[in-house]
Amino acid sequence: MVENQKCHNYRTLSYLIFAMTKDEFISRQETMKHYGHKIALLWLTGFGAFALCSVPFGTYIKQNEWVQSLFAICFLIYFVGGIVFISLLNRRNQKKLGIICPNCAKPLFRTSAKSIIATGKCGRCGEKIING
Ligand SMILES: [Zn+2]
């Protein structure tokens, strides 16, 4: 009984935190897109730095097998690590902006955002996301 009451209070509290108007929701979507563009630009800059390094040192890299392996390993770490880092950063930004469903924890971004703007509810669980 007490546990149910706590759960209810948490759900009410999370609803109060996450409930927003349609304009706020759209604004948060735009902010999330802006964050995404910044992260992508940063990652692509690093990708370009790898490409630029391979041009002047290309001959040296090709001649030394261990340097070639080291370069490939560094590139793989950057590539895979970048994807993991971007995923974690996106999740953090979604939490910060409150565009994660308080009931089922689904990200309320991109394709799901259109249905939420139309219905005001989470597409997965039906939780009310938008007030009014
Ligand atoms: Zn949901």
pLDDT, one tens digit per residue, over 3-26 is 444 444 444 444 445 578 999 999
| 87 Cα–ligand 1 center, Å | 20
Q: Return the C-alpha torsion angle 75, 80, 81, 86, nearest 10.
A: 120
Co-location of 87 and 110 in the same domain? no
| 96 Cα–ligand 1 center, Å | 17
Spatial separation of the C-alpha atoms in residues 15 and 46, rounded to whole Å = 40
Whether 66 maps to a domain, the answer reads yes
Sign of the Cα torsion 67, 69, 70, 74 reads positive
Task: Please report the DSSP string for 24-58 in residue order.
Answer: HHHHHHHHHHHHHHHHHHHHHHHHHHHHHHHTTTH
| 60 Cα–ligand 1 center, Å | 54
- Total structural domains within the chain: 2
Whether 107 maps to a domain, the answer reads yes
| 80 Cα–ligand 1 center, Å | 29
16-67 tens-digit pLDDT: 455 789 999 999 999 999 999 999 999 999 989 888 888 888 888 888 888 8
| 27 Cα–ligand 1 center, Å | 20
Co-location of 93 and 104 in the same domain? no
Which residue range(s) make up the domain with 114? 100-132
Co-location of 71 and 121 in the same domain? no
72-83 tens-digit pLDDT: 899 999 999 999
> What's the count of helices (H) and strands (E) in the chain, helices before strands?
5, 0
